[in-house]
Each structure stands twice: as C-alpha cells, then as structure tokens.
Structure 1
Amino acid sequence: MARFVLFPGRHHLLTRFQADYLRQLAEDGSTIVWAVTSANHENTKRNPVPYHRREAAIERFSVQTGLRSVVVPIFDAAPTDAFAEVTLKTITVATGLDLTPSDTLVACSTPEVAKLYELLGFPIAWVEASLDPQPERPWDVLLRLSRGDGTWRELAHPATIDVFERYRLVDTVRTVINDPIIGDEGGLTATRDYRTYVEAFAVAAERKWSAVRQYVEPGRIVDIGCGAGSVLELADREPALYESDLIGVEIARHLYQECLHKKDQGVFRNANVYFYQRNVLGGAIFDERSVDTTLTFALTHEIWSYGQRRASVLEFARRIFEHTAPGGVWINSDVCGPDDPHRSVLLRLTRDDGDNPAAVSAEPSKAYMEKLSTRARLDQFAADFAFPFSYEPVDAETVRIELASAMDFLTRKDYTDNWLSETKEQFCGLSFADWTALLTEVGFTIDPASTSIRNDWVVDNRIAPVASLTDLDGTPLNWPSTHLLAVARRPHNG
C-alpha cells in the first residue's frame, strides 16, 4: 500500500469520478499529492483557471471527500523528458516530501506523462484510462461548460461547481476557450502592394520583438494589426511563452490569409496560435480583463488617419484598457510626431537628384515618383496628402513649413511603392507628450521604459543626405524624434 498518491495535472476542473477513484486509492489513509502543473499560467486556452482558484477547489474537494491532500504548484517549463524529475524535485523543495517508487503511486491517465514516471520505477494508476469505456476526463467536462452544455454540472464535483460559481469562472472559461467571431473585413486601402508589406514585416520582426520582449506578460498575448504574423513567430519560439495563447488580429485580407497559410504549413509550434480577421475600428474584440499583453506595431497612426483623429485613438485605447487584465500591459510601437509640431522651420531640399516638373501629377505612379527630385516630391506630397498643410517657398530649394508637416513628408518621401496609400496616413498626428496624456486619461500608468525615439538609420540614410533643417534665423536644428515605444500598464487595482 502506498503512503502517497501523486496526482499530476492541470486540475482546472475536478470530477465526481475523480472523487470516487481517489477514495479507493487512498482507503488506507494515503496522502494525495496534487502536483498542479502550469501553475504560473492563467487566462489561456490551455490554462483558463488561475492556480489559486484551482488550489481552492482542490482544498474544498479534499474536505468534502475526506481525503488528506497536499497541493504543490509546478511552474511551467519548456517541454523536457525530465518533466517527472523536475516535478518530484519541486515537491521536495516545497514540502520536504521525498516521493519514491517504494512509497508512492502515480495517478495519471495521460500515457506520455505516465511513461516518464514508469521509467523512474513508479507504479501507475490509470484513473479514467483504467476503464472501458472511459469516463469523461476533466478537460472534456470543461469543454462542455465552454459550449454552454449544462450537463457539465452533473459530471463536475460540487467543490469545482462552488468555486466556479462564487468567482464567476463559468463566464471566464467560456470567454477564454471560445474563439472570437471572425469578421469579413477587407484591406484598409485598395492601393497597397501587400507583397511589399509582407517582406517589410519579416525584415523588421526581430528588431520589433527584441525591443518589446522584456515587457511581455505571459498568458493571453494579442498582436493587433499583426500583419503576416512575423512577431508572433518569434514569440512562438520563446520557451517562457510556451503555455501562452498567441493571438493575431489583422484586418487586411491578404495579410490574414498569409497568417493562416503559415499556421497550416506548421510554422508555429505552439498549438494555441490563432488568427482573426477583424476591423479594430469596428468595436471591441475581446472581453473585459481577458488579455495579459497587447502588442501594436505601426497601427495606431492608421487608427488616427482612417478614423476621427484623437477621438478614434482615445476610443481604441479605452478598448485596450478594458480588455487588459489587471497588471497587464499594452506595448505600442509606432511613428511619433515631434515635441513641438507647430514650430515654424526652414526646410531645405535637394533639387538636383531628379526631375522638377512645372506641375504635380494627377495620377502619380511608382515610376513617376522615383524620377522626381526631393524638392519636387514635396509638391506632389502636398497635393496628395489627406491632411492639408501649407508651406511658403523661400528660394528654389527652401520652404518655410511647420515641423510636423516637414517630418510627415521626410518620413514618407521614399514610399514610392505605395505612394497613394501612404499619403492617406499621418505619422505626426501625436507627439510623445500627447501619447502620455492620452494613455493616462484612459487609466493606464506609464512605465518608465516608455520613450520617444529617433530612427537614426532613417535620418542618416534617407533624410540628411537630401535635406537640412534650420530655425527661421538659419540656426541648424537637430532632427526630432520619429517613433515612440509606449509601455502602458493597467494597475492591479484598476
């Protein structure tokens, strides 16, 4: 007879069958050692119930069944053949119990896990797998709950039912397990060459991920405006995020289909990677307090541009705040306007690097734009830009212009592949100070890591060779910030 019954598992839901089975195993007073795996994960499809609620249900279950129990949290680790050894060592550290094959029976119905303990010499009690036909396992019962099938209560143990009802976990489980409804939205504009965008996303993904990785909270991780899913590919390779849900949301049909193609081709190792085609301007996507990390890259300027400017960005930020779990984070990386956007400056632009036609084109093609000088591109930009601005020629190469308008042009002048699409978007609508005020208004706290950034590669390679910036008296000015990284956290009590 075993002194201990080791019962490893996620234990999100306890069943009436488990109660009867464990009573039989422990009829001579054995202690049930509950090794609750993935204890540091919650709010994901694999792990919808937080550890402290699982522990509460186990303790209540033990009291109601008369079983003597010890509950030990087992934090998630990368998949390993040493899983059984790691679990046993964790139990020893946490409780002082040194479980051995001579005094411990392992209760486990998962063959792959049971095999690891068998290799160490432990005898196995197969729980549900010991019967034919097999009774429903806890996960099967949890799926009944997620489908709205009320018969889950007939199979679940009263301890689980009580904890689920008191802490409103029924709704939480349904929200986390069930997929959002996929919309049928198209792209933002009809003039985009999405092949170019896919290539650009792939090239920039590692840089983006390395800039934000340290701020990502595990759990339910959502990349809104995920493009071709390149950043989620990198998140998928992180062992620490193995138990997380990775969710991509993309409006553009071409990019969404590329995400699905990648998933079908086995690019992602995590089974819980999902993609949804939704318009982020169309309404809430996720339920309140359901997301641990939201990522947005080069998205918010589009919301500004295609929506109602600040009002739309503010509404979007409120939706992000609402769906962020307490302690969760929104990481936003995007273009950014200068700190003093309305400052008048002198912008000198090269004329000898291309053609200088007498008038702008009504239908500027890629080939046409690539032939223009930098100075001529400003005239074409002013004609096509969806956000009207004025400038005053000072001489053949120099104009007097507001700083934000100058930077909007300089950061866009080389986007000839998608010229008519890019000129519908404003990069410099919000400064870093504007962003700080907006996020604070919504309820976020601003992490000290948040900062405005100047892309020196763009300045050194795209702007400075063909342009110069001075004050109105001719004093040279430093190039302003071009991007921002905003790490916005929802307070734990918020």
Structure 2
Amino acid sequence: MFLLIPGRHHLLSDFQFKYLHRLLQNQLEGEQDVQGQTMPASAITAVIFAVTSANHLGTKRNPVPFYLRAMIIQEFSSYLDIPVFVYGIDDVGEISDFAGYTLKSIRHSSEGLHQLTPENTVVICSTAVKDMYTSLGYKVLPAELDITTGQLEHPLPWDIVRLIAQSPDWQKDRTVLDLIHPASFKIWKQYKIGEKVQHILKDPIIGADGDLTTTRDYNAYVKQMDEIAALKYQETAPYIQPGNIGDIGCAAGSWIKMGCEDERLHECDFYGIEVSRHLFEICYQRKHNGDFANPSVFFSQKNAVTSLVFDPGSMNTIHTSSLTHEIASYGSEQDLRDFIANRYQELAPGGVWINRDVVGPENKNEIVLLWLDHTDGENKQWAAGITDNQELAAALEKLSTRAKFIRFAQDFRHQEGYKLAYEWVTIGGQTYCRLRMQDACEFLFTKDYTDNWLSEMHETFCFWSFADWKHELECAGFRVDKLSKPYRNEWIVENRLEGKTKLFREQEDGLQEIPFPVSHMLLLARK
C-alpha cells in the first residue's frame, strides 16, 4: 500500500512526522478515514509526496522553489524507515479534476513505476482537496483534521509558514520551534528561506501569484512589447556601458535578446529581472530554446522595489523601460523613490541607469479645454459591464473619442479611489471638456490601449513631469546626463490624436490651441 500526501509542502511539521510514524508503525490498523470508516491493517511499501505548484516560486502563494521543497522532504524522509518518493506537480489553475491530474502526473513522471489506484493507495489530506480523492474512490486519512467536528486540531504547514513570516526572529520563536520538524528547520535555516519568505509575504505590491495586476492579457502584452523592442533598443543602445548589464522589468527578454546580438557587448553578462511569474516563465523558456546568442544570460523573478536585485556596486548598466510608472501606479510614489535608491546602490561608480518611460507635462495642474470628436464612432455607453478583455476591446473600438473619454473617466483608477474631475462647457457652439492638463494627458496617451483596458485603468502615466524626475534622481545622488530629454511621440500624435482631439487654453480674447505635450522621456542617471 502507498501513502500519497499531496500539497505544496513549503515545510513539514512535527505533527506530520509523528502522524506518519504512527501510521507506519501500526500499518494503518485502527485509523479512521475522513468518512469515519476504520482502516484494516495494510503493509505500507512507500510514501509518495506530490508537491503541487512545483513550477511556481517567489510568489506569496508559493514562495519556496520546488528544489528546496524536495530537499526538505528528502531530509524529512531520513527520519522514516521506508522509501519516500517526491514528484513535482505543475500548477494548472483551477480545475475540477486536479486530483486526477495529480495522479496522471505521478504516473508519467515515474514512468509507470507508481500507478496509484484506490486499491493500492491511501491519501493523507486535511483540506478541501480530500473531496476530490474521495470522489475517485480513494480512502483519505484526515491528518490535522478532526472528522467529528470538521475543524483542524493541529496547525497546517502553511500556518507555520505564516507564523515565520510574522516572527521578528523565527529561528528562536518557541511556537515555531514546537511546530516545525527539525528537517524543515535545518533546510530553512541553511538556505535562509525564512528571511526570503518574510520578504515575499510582506511585499505590499505583488499579488498572491507574483503579478502586479490580475487583469492583464499577457498574450497581448507580450506581443506589444516585442513589437516595440527594436525601437527601445535603438533608442537606448548608444548609452549602454559594457560589463554587467541588467534589465529590470525585462518582460519577455526582447531587449536582452537584442543586446546579445550587439557586437560591442558580446563579452558582457546580462541579467534579466522580472516580477511577473507569467513573463519570467516566458524568459526562462526562451533561454532554453536558445533564443539568446550570449550564453551569459541569467533571469530571476524578484521585486526590485522592496530590495536590491543586484549586488551593491556591481552593475555597469541598468535598463528599465515602461516600468517606473507601474511602480507608482500599483504601489506609491514612495515605492518609486525606494526603487530609485536601490538602483543607485547597485550601480558601480560611473555606471548608468537608462530609464525609458512615459512622463507628465510640466503644466500638469493647469485647467485646460479638451475637444473630443463625437462623430468618429458610436456614442452609446454599451461597453459598460463587459469584463472579457477581447469583448471589451471590440466594444471600445466602436466608441467615438468623446464616448471613450466618458468611459475612461468612469474607469480610470476607480479602484484606487481616484475621481477624475471634469465638466462639459459650450463655447461658440462647440462642446469642450474642462479638466486638469494631467488628466487630459492621462486620457490622450492611454485611450488606445484597448486590448488591456482593465489593466491600463490602474496605471497613471503623468504623475511626475521631467523636472520632477530630475529632482528625485538628484535627491537620490544621481547626476542626470545632459543627453536626457522629454519628447513627444510623433507617431501617437499623427495616428491617434490629430483629428480626434485638441487642447485649448482659455484666454480673455478667446481660445488658444495648445500643442500636444511631451509623452515620453529618456533618462540617463549616472552614479
């Protein structure tokens, strides 16, 4: 008889060891399953740990990588006088037959050695997953669960993980030491897992699965990033200093791929940092596919806001593109200041941080008039209530520019509590929207990102002007290179703004049309 223990297994508890030890010594005799049935004696031949979410690491839900979880189980197994097997089970999202998927994965990974059936396997599980196995005919032992009350009698391993995350000195915390098995403690201490878990679980910006936002369509996002990768690299390449080169927020690794093909940089080491699990996995796969000409390319899933991601003083060039506005959007302006300070520490003396991103106008608080075309599409607000990205994009594309603004004003940073203030005014028979210049620019430079509208509505582009940026960088110790500049994306002006919208300033003698302001910047911050 096999004992199957499915779970994420970030650590193993002292209770789990004692429970397993009892089962092995008594050969299951007299144990009650979750349905209250008494088990007969059965010879146990092996214990099998199914480590779920094995392809996840560095996230709040799965902070510990699979290889360390496997090491913990292996160390734990040395205390048991029976063969122990470990199989990684990749995360596949929410599926009703996850138990069946787990069993198939074990059969495949073991090359048929372990074909687990209700006749040869007893499952140990105290969470709701147990119902999936009982529905397949498996006997399930309750472990931490009291089957008479339906309540947990003992803390789950994840409860201990959360205790560690909140403990100021987890290695001396008496409650933790009473609950954790020595094998787990050994590996957690040796590899400093406790400190890493504390850092990840306390992160205020990143979600449970390691993403800034849960509304982003990553297929559309990656396509957009790849389409403009050449432009990004051409604009930043002249300023790259050879040596250690880091790309923070590297998305699908496209900028690094082009750097690897640059003859000047063929002896450099490239380091890609990506916080999003989805994008990190794409980078990792591209590396295995041989997409990078330089073998010295390394990717890590880390958050560059809350900590350093490179050794202090180690980097010659750090590159970021379309990233810093996301930090302010999903975190705060203070988080962005922390990000700036971290980059300063990581650069070697004379090193450069190349930051390409959107930027706000200098006159962001000026009240202006915004003319919006109402004849270039439909004026019904039937796009309201749609949550599917593709369906919403199709609906938004049918709206007139004015109707799209109305939808934008409703959605823009609504979940963050922002209320976009505006009013409609009629002057000389023409209707205008009166609002702050910053809000006008937020609409002008966001309105066409309909493929990811729900995600984009969380993001602010125009919170700092170029002068604000220069001030913040200098406060952090940087020298802003004279080649740094704000600029207007003329393609956006010609293809997305002209004919659809205009900006005006109210004056005593009438309205003065205002040129569309800067939209982007190239910042070269030197240490």
TM-score range, shorter chain: 0.5 to 0.7
Matched with 1:464 is: 498
User: Take 2:233 and 2:468, find their aligned partners in 1: how far apart are those partners?
Assistant: 25
Q: Which amino acid aligns with 1:477?
A: I
Contact conserved, 1:293 with 1:329, CA < 8 A, in 2?
yes
Q: 395-404 or 453-462, which moves further after superposition?
A: 395-404
User: Take 2:331 and 2:210, find their aligned partners in 1: how far apart are those partners?
Assistant: 16
Matched with 2:461 is: 427
Matched with 1:451 is: 485
User: Take 1:379 and 1:194, find their aligned partners in 2: how far apart are those partners?
Assistant: 26
1:331 is the counterpart of 2:354: yes
1:316 is the counterpart of 2:357: no
How has the CA–CA distance of structure 1 residues 376 and 272 changed in structure 2, closer, same or farther, with 3 Å as cutoff?
same
User: Take 1:289 and 1:194, find their aligned partners in 2: how far apart are those partners?
Assistant: 33
User: What displacement does 1:438 show?
Assistant: 0.4
User: What displacement does 1:308 show?
Assistant: 1.5
User: What displacement does 1:465 show?
Assistant: 2.2
Matched with 1:199 is: 223
User: What displacement does 1:186 show?
Assistant: 2.2
1:375 is the counterpart of 2:398: no
1:366 is the counterpart of 2:393: yes
User: What displacement does 1:198 show?
Assistant: 1.4
* Alignment match of 1:399 (pick from 420, 425, 433): 433
User: What displacement does 1:256 show?
Assistant: 1.2
Contact conserved, 1:287 with 1:323, CA < 8 A, in 2?
yes
Matched with 2:165 is: none
* Alignment match of 1:306 (pick from 326, 330, 350): 330
Q: For residues 142-183 of structure 1, what are the alpha-carbon distances to aligned partners after superposition, in whole Å with 9 as ceiling and x for unaligned? A: xxxxxxxxxxxxxxxxxxxxxxxxxxxxxxxxxxxxxx9997
Matched with 2:78 is: none
SS in 1 for 2:272: strand
Give the gaps of 5 or more residues in structure 2: 1-195, 201-207
SS in 2 for 1:472: strand
User: Take 2:489 and 2:284, find their aligned partners in 1: how far apart are those partners?
Assistant: 32
User: Take 2:234 and 2:369, find their aligned partners in 1: how far apart are those partners?
Assistant: 36
User: Take 1:354 and 1:398, find their aligned partners in 2: how far apart are those partners?
Assistant: 17
Q: How many residues align?
A: 310
User: What displacement does 1:397 show?
Assistant: 3.9
User: Take 1:294 and 1:345, find their aligned partners in 2: how far apart are those partners?
Assistant: 38
User: What displacement does 1:190 show?
Assistant: 1.3
Q: Which amino acid aligns with 1:466?
A: K
Contact conserved, 1:351 with 1:397, CA < 8 A, in 2?
no
User: What displacement does 1:325 show?
Assistant: 0.7
Contact conserved, 1:185 with 1:279, CA < 8 A, in 2?
no
SS in 2 for 1:231: helix
Q: Which amino acid aligns with 1:377?
A: K
Matched with 1:32 is: none
User: What displacement does 1:288 show?
Assistant: 1.1
How has the CA–CA distance of structure 1 residues 475 and 240 changed in structure 2, closer, same or farther, with 3 Å as cutoff?
same
User: Take 2:304 and 2:393, find their aligned partners in 1: how far apart are those partners?
Assistant: 30
SS in 1 for 2:525: strand
Q: Which amino acid aligns with 2:245?
A: I
Matched with 1:484 is: 521
RMSD: 1.9
* Alignment match of 2:476 (pick from 437, 442, 445): 442
Q: 399-408 or 236-245, which moves further after superposition?
A: 236-245
SS in 2 for 1:394: strand
| Percentage of matched positions with identical amino acids | 41
Q: Which amino acid aligns with 1:405?
A: D
Equivalent residues in 2 for 1:135-174 (5 A)? none
Contact conserved, 1:360 with 1:379, CA < 8 A, in 2?
no
Q: 319-328 or 245-254, which moves further after superposition?
A: 245-254
Contact conserved, 2:257 with 2:293, CA < 8 A, in 1?
no
Matched with 2:285 is: 261
User: What displacement does 1:379 show?
Assistant: 1.2
Contact conserved, 1:351 with 1:373, CA < 8 A, in 2?
yes
Q: For residues 255-297 of structure 1, what are the alpha-carbon distances to aligned partners after superposition, in whole Å with 9 as ceiling and x for unaligned? A: 1111111111111121110111112233221221111110000
SS in 1 for 2:512: coil
Q: Which amino acid aligns with 2:315?
A: V
SS in 1 for 2:271: strand
Q: List structure 1 runs of 4+ shifted beyond 3 angstroms.
A: 180-185
Matched with 1:412 is: 446
Equivalent residues in 2 for 1:27-42 (5 A)? none
Matched with 1:388 is: 419
1:293 is the counterpart of 2:317: yes
TM-score, scaled to structure 2: 0.57
SS in 2 for 1:487: strand
Q: 246-255 or 299-308, which moves further after superposition?
A: 246-255
User: Take 1:220 and 1:308, find their aligned partners in 2: how far apart are those partners?
Assistant: 29
Contact conserved, 1:247 with 1:274, CA < 8 A, in 2?
yes
User: Take 1:193 and 1:405, find their aligned partners in 2: how far apart are those partners?
Assistant: 25
SS in 2 for 1:471: strand
SS in 1 for 2:215: coil
Contact conserved, 1:281 with 1:307, CA < 8 A, in 2?
no
1:249 is the counterpart of 2:286: no
SS in 1 for 2:376: coil
Contact conserved, 2:306 with 2:338, CA < 8 A, in 1?
no
* Alignment match of 1:348 (pick from 355, 371, 384): 371
SS in 1 for 2:246: strand
1:208 is the counterpart of 2:241: no
User: What displacement does 1:353 show?
Assistant: 1.6
User: What displacement does 1:348 show?
Assistant: 0.3
SS in 1 for 2:506: coil
Matched with 1:219 is: 243
TM-score, scaled to structure 1: 0.60
SS in 2 for 1:314: helix
SS in 2 for 1:476: strand
Q: Which amino acid aligns with 1:419?
A: W
Contact conserved, 1:295 with 1:330, CA < 8 A, in 2?
yes
User: What displacement does 1:368 show?
Assistant: 2.3
User: What displacement does 1:362 show?
Assistant: 3.7
Give the gaps of 5 or more residues in structure 1: 1-179
User: Take 2:221 and 2:382, find their aligned partners in 1: how far apart are those partners?
Assistant: 30
Q: For residues 402-443 of structure 1, what are the alpha-carbon distances to aligned partners after superposition, in whole Å with 9 as ceiling and x for unaligned? A: 111101001111111111100100000110000000000000
